[in-house]
Amino acid sequence: MPAITRMLAATCAAAAAGAALTGCTGDDSGDESAPLLAPVVTTSAAAEPFSDLSGAQLMKRAEQDMRDSGAMTIESKGTEDGAPLHMKEAITDSGKCVVAADSDGMSFQIIGVSATEAYLKADKEFWIENGGAGAAGRLAGKWVKLPAAEISDSGMQDMCDLDSAMDEASADDDESTFTKQAPVELDGKQVVPIVEDSSDGTTTIYVSTGDTPYIVKSVIADGDSPEVDVFSDFGKPPHIVAPPRALTIDPGDLGGNPGGGGLHI
């Protein structure tokens, strides 16, 4: 499951090289790496959820249920290359997605309409860093249509696709060990913690109980790159459409090379 980190970082890197959700506006004051947990009191062994499944088996079932849901939202808080990263992304099995991110004083949004159609809107700081002052003057705060060839080359379509995202998230499962723990309450709901030990370190994963278990949170608390990922809105694809044409810039219409580097992702 730590591969979620790589997936989100790749999304951020793709946008930066390319040089709509709201609510991705920087770190909250609360410490998300230390969720409030309380043991669940059970009266019998029969009350233990998933008592017939090992940690690895429960992980596999939860990951499959997430894949089968057709859509989900991921909110990630952590670091990338030492800089704070806050990203929120809604992905679907149709390949449509929306992304909003803040990283190292820069922010951007992505709307992915299909495997060949995507739009990027970023602030002045983003374009200065990734395209220069000329690009910032022309493109800051505007929706920029990304060239189809660049979308394909960057692999962005894989980041927007739920199946591909789950493939990436579970890529290291065979090399990890999963230890199921006693149920606890997380945000007022019963969950089953699973501790994953892998070459990337230790991750605590919280799986919801009920007929359809989902991974609802994962926490990497140790190492140089602590991270918290929250998963929600399973089976609830957002309404995703291209921004209005009047508010969109096609780099091919600029008649030049903004920022001296062109638009590449």
Residue 62 lies in a domain: yes
Q: How many domains does the chain have?
A: 1
pLDDT digits (tens, 9 = 90+) for 128-186: 988 888 888 889 999 999 888 888 887 787 888 999 989 988 888 888 999 999 999 99
Residue 173 lies in a domain: yes
pLDDT digits (tens, 9 = 90+) for 118-141: 999 999 999 898 888 888 888 999
Q: Say yes or no to pLDDT of 54 above 50.
A: yes
Residue 189 lies in a domain: yes
pLDDT of residue 260: 37
Q: Say yes or no to pLDDT of 93 above 90.
A: yes
pLDDT digits (tens, 9 = 90+) for 192-218: 999 999 887 899 999 999 999 999 999
Residue 122 lies in a domain: yes
Residue 38 lies in a domain: no
Name 198's Cβ contacts closer than 8 Å, sequence gap at least 6.
2, 172, 175, 176, 177
CATH of the domain at 74: 2.50.20.20
Residue 40 lies in a domain: no
pLDDT of residue 255: 53
Residue 56 lies in a domain: yes
pLDDT of residue 47: 67
Model pTM greater than 0.75? yes
Domain that includes residue 223, residue range: 3-25+49-254
Residue 39 lies in a domain: no
